[in-house]
Structure 1
Amino acid sequence: MKNTINNGLKAKRIVLLGGSSGIGLATALAAAREGAAIVIVSSSQQRIEDALSILPKNTQGFAADLGEETQVEALFKKIGKFDHLVFTAGDQLKFSELSALNIDEAKKSIHLRFWGSIMAAKYGAPLIRKGGSITLTTGAIGKRPRSGTVVIAGMASAIDGLTRSLAFELAPIRVNAVCVGTVRTNLLANMPEPDREALFNKIGSQLLTGKVGDADDLAEAYVYLMRGGFTTGQVIVADGGSLLV
C-alpha cells in the first residue's frame, strides 16, 4: 500500500464566504489552528474588522455583496489562487406561513443563499488548485420541513441538488455540503433574546444530543470535508439527531 502523509489543511489557502461570524468564523478559526491561510468575506466591513481581531495576523478580509455577480467576479479576481472554498453566507432566517409570505423578501434570501452559491462556484472554481474543494451550506429543515418553512426548506432542498450537480460539473474539484440543524448563531438575532433562548432550550430538549449545536460543533464538519480527499457530491448532516426524532 502506498504510504502517504496527509498534512490536512497546513499551508492551504481557504476562502470563507460568510467567514466573519457564526459557523463561517468558527470554521476559519478551526482551519487556522491547523495552519491554513485564511481569507474571509462579508458584506459588512465592521464584521470583517471584528473577525480579523481574533484571527491570525496574516488573515485577509474582503467586503462584497455576494448576491451581486459583478462584485463576486471582482472579488475572486482580487483573491487569486486558493485551495478550498466554503460558503456559509446568509441573511437572518425568517419563518412565515405561506399566506403571510413576503415574496420580495423571500426572493432576496433565495438570491443570496442559492444564486450566491452558484456565483461563488462559477467564479471561484477556476482558481481552485489541484486537490481543492467547495463546501456549501444547507439545512435539515429541507429534509424535514414544518409549517412556516416554505422558503427555508425550498432553499435547502435546492442546495442539496446543486451540490450533487456541481460535483459532476466541476470534477475533479470536490463539492460537498454541510446540512446544519438548529445552531446558536446570529441568524436568529432578530428574535428577542428570551424568546430565542426559550426556542433553543425547547428544540435542544427534543434532540438526541440534548442541546442545539454551537458554531464550533458545525466547524468540524466543514474541516472534515476540506480534508476528505475521497469525498464528493455528499451532504453531511450535523443536526444533533433532529432527522431521527
Structure 2
Amino acid sequence: MSLDGQHVVILGGTSGIGYAVAAATAAQGAKVTVVSSRRDRVDRAVAGLPAGTSGVVADLNDIARIRSVFDELGTLDHLVYTAGEPLLLSPVADLDLEAARTFFELRYFSVLAAVQAAAPRLRAEGSITLTTGTAGPRPLPGSAVTSSVCGAVEALTRALAVELAPIRVNAVMPGVVRSPLWNFPDDLRDRFYSDTAAATPLRRIAEVDDIARAFVFFLAQPHATGSVLPLDGGAVLA
C-alpha cells in the first residue's frame, strides 16, 4: 500500500520518534500534520519537514481541544500517537501519586480521547498506530507506573482492533531508544545507553529512525491489526 497523498496525523510529531515518523511518512508522499503542545516545537518541526507538512498546537491533556483538532482536520487516513513526557521512574515507596496520575492522563487517557475523536473521520482503509514499550512485558525496579501504562496501551490496541474494524489498530513497542525521553544527566544517560547496548544481542541502542520504520510498516501493511511489534534489539533474549 502506498502512502502517497494519504493524510497522516501524528500526535507528538515534533520530536524524537514522532518527528522521525513524520519525516519517514512525508518522504513517501504522505500529507503530514504534526500536533504538539508548544508553538515553537510545531514551527521548528514544520520548517524541518518537507513542503506541505502542517502543524497544530494542542494540549493533549485537554480533551475538548483534542476533539476540536480533529473537527478542524476533517477526513484522515492514519492516526499515529507518539506523544509523551519523559518516563516516570520511581520506587513505589517514593512515588508522587499526582505525578503518576498526570503521566497516565497523557499516555493513556489522551490516547483514548484522540482515538475517540479521530475514528469517525478515518477512512475505512485507514489505521491507528499507538506507542507502548517493553517496560510492559519486562518491567524493571522503579517502573511500576511506566510498565502499567505500557500494559494498558497494549491491551487497548487489541480491544480497539476488534471494535473499530475494518480500521486497523496496531502498536509499536520500542525498548531503549536514543531520544529525549531519557532525561538523565548526560553522563548517566550515556552510561545507561552503553550498559543497555552491551546487554543486548545487537550491541547497540535503537535510533528513532529505526523505530519510525515500524510505524511506516503498520501504516502501509493492509493485513496487520491488533499487532504489537517489539523492537528491543533482542533484549528479551538476554
TM value normalised by structure 1: 0.96
1:238 corresponds to 2:227: no
Does the 8 A contact of 2:9 with 2:33 survive in 1? yes
CA drift at 1:130: 2.4
CA distance in 2, matches of 1:208, 1:39: 36
Q: Report matched runs for 1:28-177 at 5 Å.
A: 28-177=22-171
Q: CA RMSD in A?
A: 0.8
Partner SS, residue 51 of structure 2: coil
Q: Could you tell me which runs of 5 or more consecutive residues in structure 1 were left unpaired when the two chains were aligned.
A: 1-5
Q: Does 1:203 align with 2:203?
A: no
Letter in 2 for 1:213: A
Supply the AA of the counterpart residue of 2:114.
A
1:243: Cα distance to partner? 1.4
The residue identity in structure 1 corresponding to 2:161 is A
> How far did residue 228 of structure 1 move?
0.7
CA distance in structure 1 between the partners assigned to 2:233 and 2:165 by the alignment: 31
Q: Aligned residues, how many? A: 238
Q: CA deviation at 1:109?
A: 0.5
Residue deviations 1:140-170 (CA, integer Å, cap 9, x gap): 0111111100000000000110000001111
Partner residue in 2 for 1:3: none
Rounded Cα–Cα distance in structure 2 between residues aligned with 1:215 and 1:17: 16
Q: 2:208: which partner in 1?
A: 215
2:186 is the alignment partner of 1:183: no
Instruction: Please report how far the alpha carbon of residue 36 of structure 1 lies from its aligned counterpart in structure 2 after TM superposition.
Output: 0.5
4+ residue runs over 6 A deviation: none
Q: Give 2:195's aligned amino acid.
A: K
One-letter amino acid matched to 1:206? A
